Structure 1
Amino acid sequence: MRILLTGSAGFIGFHVAKSLLDRGDEVIGYDSFNRYYDPRLKESRNGILEEYPNFRLVRADIGDREALAAAFDELVAGANGSAQTRVCHLAAQAGVRHSIAHPDAFVRDNVQAFTHVLELCRDREVGGLIYASSSSVYGDSTRERLSESDSTSAQCSLYGATKKMNELMASVYNHLYGLRVTGLRFFTVYGPWGRPDMALFLFTGALLRGETIKVFGHGRMHRDFTYVDD
């Protein structure tokens, strides 16, 4: 299988890329190494991927349609038919609070760029698209257990709204063009090489420094965590 993986130097993207490479797939990584958190962590992850002979990196912004189109061309040119190609789209602006402060960036990278991905998948007749949605699409739901059939109509963050928009757009492309699309609603992923702004690392850092752990709200909430290998 030949796979174009956007966000390959990100936390989840790195682990997905490594798993694909380990099983023998060809992976074209695509990442901008933006500064949402220390890019040295992304460079270190990418350094591990670069050790694989079946990996190649495209260093470009997800909003750069020409660079993205060139990566798609490389994907299909080296494949033995479109059935052997997949796109795994994990690149996005992350962070619920960050989306409130930087709405333009989230619309550009999470909505407009996703439109480019869908159009290029359709035009290049890619065998299938897997993309990152988010548990944020459930908004402020108070249900203890959530499923795919639960309502996602009430958004409470711009980040969640952009991910909901992704799901709607993907559904339209499946309906109109028969594009095979799978969206994954991730619930707070943690594990090795994780993002330093996530709770696991913030809590651990506070413990090691002898500081009080900061818990927002009343302190009686529950939250789901998903280990990255799962």
Structure 2
Amino acid sequence: MTILLTGCAGFIGSHTTKALLQKGYNVIGVDNLNDYYNPAWKKQNLTKFENENNFTFNRLDITDQAALEQIFNQQEQNEPIQKIVHLAARAGVRASIEQPLLYQKVNVEGTLNLLELARKYQVKQFVFASTSSIYGAQKKIPFSETDPVNEPVSPYAATKKAAEMLCYTYSHLHKLKVTCLRFFTVYGPAGRPDMAPYLFT
């Protein structure tokens, strides 16, 4: 089975790549290696897969639908992409306040590009990385996935909420099997350098 994994060079993405390869999947990785933090960290993550025959890497941006579709077209001649794990995004609350248009383009438009390709190429399952930030001004603790999420307090949260809504729409209209994961603070080996464990040590 072939899986398209966006954000494959990042912290969560590289661990996901490793896990999928260990389970015997063919992984097509996509990442633009942006400079939200030092791209050298992401390049280092990719070196772990240099000798993996079941892994191919494509450096491109998810806002480039033509480039994404080229991957799908190429795979149609071999083994079609059956699942998408969409982890790529512009992350960070503070940066989104300074660059809201960029966050909208990547997190909303980029997600829509992938959903549309999933529909067009009859992908079986779509997994989307959302965020706990969408709970926004929610006062009830602990949070629940059934809580209303109508008060995002940053462009980052708003774009992730919008992307979740698009996921629901494609699930409803096109019967695409969608799973949205609302990550909280993730940490561990090869973690992002802008996260607390690295900043505080």
TM-score norm. by structure 1 comes to: 0.85
Task: Determine if the alignment matches structure 1 residue 112 to structure 2 residue 113.
Answer: no
1:11 corresponds to which residue? Answer: 11
Whether the 8 Å contact between 1:99 and 1:159 is mirrored in structure 2 is yes
Letter in 2 for 1:41: W
Q: 1:133 to 1:48 in 2, by over 3 A?
A: same
Identity over aligned pairs, percent: 46
Cα distance in 2 for partners of 1:142, 1:51 equals 48
Cα distance in 1 for partners of 2:139, 2:72 equals 41
Q: Tell me which stretches of 4 or more aligned residues in structure 1 moved more than 6 Å.
A: none
Cα distance in 2 for partners of 1:75, 1:188 equals 35
> In the alignment, which of 82, 92, 96 is matched to residue 93 of structure 2?
96
| Cα offsets for 1:66-94 (capped at 9, x unmatched) | 11111222344432x67xx1000011100
Cα distance in 2 for partners of 1:74, 1:132 equals 25
1:182 corresponds to which residue? Answer: 179
1:87 corresponds to which residue? Answer: 84
Q: Which has the higher Rg, Structure 1 or Structure 2?
A: 1
Whether the 8 Å contact between 1:31 and 1:58 is mirrored in structure 2 is yes
Deviation at 1:193, TM superposition (A): 0.5
2:49 corresponds to which residue? Answer: 49
Cα distance in 2 for partners of 1:11, 1:121 equals 24
| Cα offsets for 1:176-201 (capped at 9, x unmatched) | 11111111000011001111000111
SS state of the match for residue 84, structure 2?
strand
Deviation at 1:36, TM superposition (A): 0.6
Cα distance in 2 for partners of 1:78, 1:51 equals 21
Cα distance in 1 for partners of 2:198, 2:74 equals 37
Cα distance in 2 for partners of 1:110, 1:129 equals 15
Whether the 8 Å contact between 1:136 and 1:160 is mirrored in structure 2 is yes
- Which structure is higher in RCO with an 8 Å CA cutoff and minimum separation 6? 2
Whether the 8 Å contact between 1:76 and 1:126 is mirrored in structure 2 is no
> In the alignment, which of 122, 125, 139 is matched to residue 122 of structure 2?
125
Q: How does 1:58-207 map to 2 (within 5 A)?
A: 58-79=58-79, 85-204=82-201
Cα distance in 2 for partners of 1:40, 1:186 equals 24
Deviation at 1:24, TM superposition (A): 0.8
Cα distance in 2 for partners of 1:122, 1:15 equals 27
Where do 5+ consecutive residues of structure 1 fail to align? Answer: 205-230
| Cα offsets for 1:140-165 (capped at 9, x unmatched) | 22222111101101111110000100
Letter in 1 for 2:168: S
Where do 5+ consecutive residues of structure 2 fail to align? Answer: none
SS state of the match for residue 200, structure 2?
helix
TM-score norm. by structure 2 comes to: 0.96
